[in-house]
Amino acid sequence: MIPIYYFSASGNTKYCTQLVQRGFQDNDVSTELIRIKTVRNFPFPDEKESYPAIGLAFPIYEFMVPRIILIWLHQLPYVKELNPVFIIDTSGGLPCNSAEIAMDLLRKKNYEPIGILEVPTPVVEPFFDNKYYPVGWNREILDRCYYFGASLANKLRKEDNKLIDLRLGRFRFPKLTKFMYQFFVEGLSSSSGLIRFDPSKCNKCGACERVCPMAAINIQKIPNIINHNRCMFCATCIRTCPHHAIKISYRPRKVPPSVTLTPKSRPGYLDPRLYKYNRNPGIDRGYLRLLLGMLRIKKILKRK
Ligand SMILES: Cc1cc2nc3c(=O)[nH]c(=O)nc-3n(C[C@H](O)[C@H](O)[C@H](O)COP(=O)(O)O)c2cc1C
């Protein structure tokens, strides 16, 4: 059995990991999804067990591995025997160098990367109302996840040692990643932060405190309930608060935050249990549009 540890705030990473799991399952390899829920209580691989491999899945936040995963990686027990590991990361298309950073940290704990999958997904708060991001899941994304699981299952059977590298291959600049991280995460933490709390709307139910993965909320400290040094802006509290007392400050929201912004409610969603691998995908609509666009540009240039 292969344990796959995952952190997912709005459900994208969980969804992709379920599709990877489906790829394993169809190739007779059993896996178990284990949720990394809060920094208070991390699940780790059992030191007495020997696993064929372990998996780690997380979203990209601020061009980086999210803080909860960095802490998890830091606390992950060192294994004596070299252990295979695979990584899945989901992002709005800008994962930067995060996969490399996670792989380096895993190597320090004696884990050897055998596969890496990067999935472009529909983005969530605080960016979901950005018109430049796509809003749906498409067949290509689903197939990519399934294919990764299926390939890993075959790889483990054959014991070949070539890395399955399904990274996005864009904007992978280590220095830029570091700069962006310092600029955004550390910069925002040292200021008042992105997430704002409105005490007049709060009824002290404590739902936000219970769900915060970083244990950054203390409802007793009204009105300063958020510890901005801990917050990683995952927006779980925004999604959970029944009275919309927590919001993102930098942009006025037209749509109230709602739990319906999970993969299930987005166009193109397909239940991973019902998913079937598309062996004959035909022409992808995205590429077709790109081709048509290029032809149009050619025509304009000719006219000039
Ligand atoms: C606070 C925050 C920061 C993000 N930063 C990035 C980023 O730097 N690059 C990117 O491509 N996507 C970024 N995203 C988009 C998420 O990586 C993407 O929506 C991911 O699929 C969310 O996964 P989840 O639903 O499992 O939490 C960010 C999302 C949030 C909430």
User: Could you report the per-residue pLDDT of 189-235, keeping only the tens digit for each?
Assistant: 555 567 888 999 999 999 999 999 999 999 999 888 998 888 888 88
Secondary structure of the chain in the HEC alphabet? CEEEEECCCCCHHHHHHHHHHHHHHCCCCCEEEEECCCCCCCCCCCCCCCCCCEEEEEECECCECCHHHHHHHHHCCCCCCCEEEEEEEEECCCCCCHHHHHHHHHHHCCEEEEEEEEEECCCCCCCCCCCCCCCCCCHHHHHHHHHHHHHHHHHHHHCCCCCEEECCCCCCCHHHHHHHHHHHHHHHHHCCCCEEECHHHCCCCCHHHHHCCCCCECHHHCCCCECCCCCCCCCHHHHHCCCCCEEECCCCCCCCCCCCCCHHHCCCCCCCCCCCCCCCCCCCHHHHHHHHHHHHHHHHHHHC
More confident position, 78 or 256: 78
Nearest alpha carbon, ligand 1 atom 2: 61
Q: What is the pTM of this model?
A: 0.85
pLDDT of res. 268: 77
Q: Is 9 in the pocket of ligand 1 (CB under 6 A)?
A: yes
Rounded distance from Cα 304 to ligand 1 centre (Å): 42
pLDDT of res. 132: 47
Q: Is 57 in the pocket of ligand 1 (CB under 6 A)?
A: no
Rounded distance from Cα 122 to ligand 1 centre (Å): 9
Q: Is 236 in the pocket of ligand 1 (CB under 6 A)?
A: no
Q: Which atom of ligand 1 is nearest to the CA of 232?
A: 1
Which domains can be identified in the chain, with CATH numbers?
2-174 (3.40.50.360), 193-248 (3.30.70.20)
Percentage of the chain lying above the pLDDT 70 cut: 77
Q: What is the mean pLDDT of the chain?
A: 83
Lowest mean pLDDT, pick from 49-58, 106-115, 183-192: 183-192
Confidence band, pLDDT 50/70/90 cuts, at residue 76: very high
